[in-house]
Amino acid sequence: MCDVGRMELRDVPRPRMGARDVLVRVAAVGLCGTDIHIFAGHANYHTDARGKRIPLTQHPQILGHEISGVVEEVGASVTDLRVGDRVVIDQGLNCVSAGREALCEYCATGDSHQCEFYLEHGITGLPGGLADYLAVPAVNAIRIDSDVDIAEAALTEPLSCIIHSSDTVAARGAGARYKLNDDERERRVQATLVCGAGPAGLLFVQYLRNVLGYDGLLLVAEPNERKRALAAKFGAETIDPRDVDLTEAVMEKTGGRRVEYLIEASGAGQVFALIPGLIRKQATVLLYGHGHAGTDLSTINNVNFMEPLLVSAVGASGGFDADNRPSVYRRALRFISDNRIKVAPFITHRYTSLHQVPSALAHEYLRSDYVKGVVTL
């Protein structure tokens, strides 16, 4: 990215690596909504020390943060990875990545995505995965110990974000009125609504059903027919908000109760404005989608009257295993590898060249048959 809406294919020096690093030959990169937002100029997460955005014309950005690849070279101090190992990459650099003996307060509690020194490959100015090679700390490379398809493995990162979000709901919702799978029926989430069936929404549906064991009513609101079909395949009852009034449909399907748990995964402003009519009082609302254009702060007033537990979660924090690698990524990779979470059905577009990326980010994602794109190199 050398400017908003403009990408160039350039020859750049091979990444330099230190003794604690590995050089990875990139094999696959998922194209994320964040990439689309950066490409369109709706977002720029590369800022200076004062939080001022640094223009792409001043500091070009190699995009790509959903990454899998093969270890090409290992640093002198790396003993637990070998050349030829297939790996997925945690693109976020934190205190553990840097080898700091004293962790910041966020890394110390497993909230590494909020690290005081946080940087991110493909997003905050550091080079991303849309390149031949990427050098990262060895602890940011998680070995793939199965025969899972390398393109599917690249979706470890977005699934890790869904796991972190769900973990955050569980942790902050300890005192919530309604909980998933509570023993007491009156305290149990009887109906859940997921707004949006893009990759995130589809991952939430599967995580609820196949990992958390949620067997209550699971509704998905999504205008795209193909995405609705996928949501239904994964165990949800779908609603087309173009054909029916969403609030009325939810009231009907829940017998007038409305939902005890709402996951906003669309980023659509009009959905945020509808939340008060969709949720039961003191429900839990997970704000996962980004954007909400056209919604001003006054909308929150009506939400507040319902006294919901509002949860916002970003990234894939979740603590570190004994080898200092991120535990959430390992969990996500395991779920994809053992097929509890199926990602292949919604990888609708596979690109085999970096030359195809600009058109994918500019307009192909708008196609009715597009759900998720992955670049294989």
H helices, E strands: number in the chain: 12, 15
Report which of 113, 115, 205, 239 is spatially closest to residue 164, judged by C-alpha positions: 113
Q: What is the DSSP code (8-state) at residue 187?
A: G
Distance, in Å, from the CA atom of 113 to the CA atom of 261, rounded to the nearest integer, reads 25
Report which of 70, 57, 60 is spatially closest to residue 25, judged by C-alpha positions: 70
Q: Which two tokens stand for residue 41?
A: 């100029």
Distance, in Å, from the CA atom of 162 to the CA atom of 202, rounded to the nearest integer, reads 10
Is-catalytic flag, 355?
no
Give Cα 159 distance to the centre of its chain: 6
Are 44 and 54 in contact by the 8 Å Cβ rule? The answer is yes
Provide the Cα torsion 146, 332, 232, 173; round to 10°: 160
Q: What is the DSSP code (8-state) at residue 103?
A: -
Report residue 183: phi and psi, to 5°.
-65, -35
Q: Which two tokens stand for residue 40?
A: 């369109």
N residues, the chain: 377
Is-catalytic flag, 349?
no
Are 360 and 351 in contact by the 8 Å Cβ rule? The answer is yes
- From the list 34, 124, 156, 254, the catalytic residue is 34
Q: Which two tokens stand for residue 13?
A: 């020096």
- From the list 37, 42, 290, 349, the catalytic residue is 37
Are 245 and 219 in contact by the 8 Å Cβ rule? The answer is no
Positions marked active-site: 34, 37
